[in-house]
């Protein structure tokens, strides 16, 4: 199984690939999310695992925009517990580290540790890319903040582990495939729609779901691309698209929307553990 992900080898997205598909998966690294989606469309990969939301930083808007622009199905989800590790070339001790390179979100999530140890945060492209750069260039007194797998790949020594300030740090990943997922016992369905900009339209759209006892797990709005100040709404709801209640809700929803698309029905992930 060739699975595309965004980032360098050792990224959290690659870790999510192995968690979902097992160590036998063949990861296909891509420089950005656009090329991650395109890798599946062009058959360079059989599927993809992409981040959609972080419990600390919020939604990843680019993923939502790309979901609308590609004919791919969401076939699964996975909540990855994000742990940050401080790593450096062998021979350096923690006391010798003066700078730490990483993605800005990772640096922000480790701010307490960095302040305590007097380490200057330095923004770099991404976590695994920071590890790769530190391993190759070896800047004086420099370390990287990245996932544990990156230390193994780039032969770095872990100086400190679990350095994130908040242990309840999760990233939700979506699994993408050109084909829909088989029906699961516990399902979630993701839909996207557009309503006309007049009083009551969003209320009527949500009501089509709520009056049938379907739980709305999440709602997200994004600017539309066709008209200024038109918004696209993304909903995650509990249930499968073939459930009787869901069929009725979608039929009603079509009466109140100018565009409606089901992005996929897929197995619902277990809620993450809280530290």
Query: Does residue 256 sit within a domain?
Result: yes
Residue 275 — very low, low, confident or very high, per pLDDT cuts 50/70/90?
low
User: 7 with 55, same domain?
Assistant: yes
Model pLDDT for residues 60-70, shown as the tens digit of each residue: 999 999 999 99
Query: Does residue 272 sit within a domain?
Result: no
User: 91 with 74, same domain?
Assistant: no
User: 67 with 136, same domain?
Assistant: no
Residue 43 — very low, low, confident or very high, per pLDDT cuts 50/70/90?
very high
**pLDDT exceeds 90 at position 204:** yes
CA pair distance 221, 237, nearest whole angstrom: 15
User: 120 with 239, same domain?
Assistant: no
User: 72 with 173, same domain?
Assistant: yes
Domain count, the chain: 3
Residue 53 structure tokens = 């939301």
User: 200 with 256, same domain?
Assistant: yes
CA pair distance 197, 199, nearest whole angstrom: 7
Q: What SS3 class is residue 112?
A: helix
On the 0-12 / 13-18 / 19+ scale of CB atoms within 10 A, 85 is buried
User: 56 with 96, same domain?
Assistant: no
Query: Does residue 274 sit within a domain?
Result: no
Q: What is the DSSP string of 222-255?
A: EE-SSSTT-EEEEEEEES-TTSHHHHHHHHHHHH
User: 73 with 173, same domain?
Assistant: yes
User: 199 with 247, same domain?
Assistant: yes
User: 101 with 67, same domain?
Assistant: no
Domain hosting residue 107, numbered range: 85-161
Instruction: Identify the CA nearest to 145 among candidates 90, 104, 101.
Output: 101
CA pair distance 255, 204, nearest whole angstrom: 9
User: 262 with 191, same domain?
Assistant: yes
User: 65 with 114, same domain?
Assistant: no
Residue length of the chain: 275
Global pTM value:
0.92
Model pLDDT for residues 120-167, shown as the tens digit of each residue: 999 998 999 999 999 999 999 999 999 999 999 999 999 999 999 999
Annotated catalytic sites, by residue?
Answer: 171, 173
CATH code of the domain in which 150 resides: 3.40.190.10
Strand partners, 76: 175
């Amino acid at each position: 199984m060739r699975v595309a992900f965004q980032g360098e080898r050792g990224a959290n997205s690659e870790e999510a690939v192995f968690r979902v598909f097992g160590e036998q998966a063949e990861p296909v690294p891509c420089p950005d999310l656009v090329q991650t989606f395109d890798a599946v469309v062009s058959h360079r990969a059989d599927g993809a695992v992409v981040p959609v939301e972080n419990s600390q930083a919020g939604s990843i808007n680019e993923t939502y925009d790309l979901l609308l622009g590609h004919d791919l199905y969401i076939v699964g989800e996975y909540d990855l517990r994000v742990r940050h590790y401080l790593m450096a070339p062998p021979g350096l001790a923690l006391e010798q580290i003066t700078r730490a390179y990483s993605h800005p979100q990772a640096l922000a999530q480790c701010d307490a540790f960095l302040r305590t140890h007097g380490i200057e945060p330095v923004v770099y492209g991404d976590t695994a890319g920071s590890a790769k750069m530190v391993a190759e260039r070896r800047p004086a007194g420099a370390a990287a903040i990245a996932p544990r797998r990156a230390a193994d790949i780039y032969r770095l020594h872990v100086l400190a582990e679990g350095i994130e300030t908040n242990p309840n740090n999760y990233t939700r990943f979506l699994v993408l495939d050109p084909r829909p997922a088989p029906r699961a016992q516990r399902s979630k369905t993701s839909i996207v729609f557009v309503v006309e900009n007049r009083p009551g339209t969003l209320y009527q759209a949500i009501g089509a779901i709520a009056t049938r006892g379907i739980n709305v797990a999440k709602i997200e709005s994004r600017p539309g691309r066709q008209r200024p100040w038109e918004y696209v709404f993304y909903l995650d709801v509990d249930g499968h698209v073939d459930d009787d209640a869901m069929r009725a809700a979608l039929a009603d929803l079509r009466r109140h929307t100018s565009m409606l698309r089901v992005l996929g029905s897929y197995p619902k992930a277990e809620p993450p553990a809280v530290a």
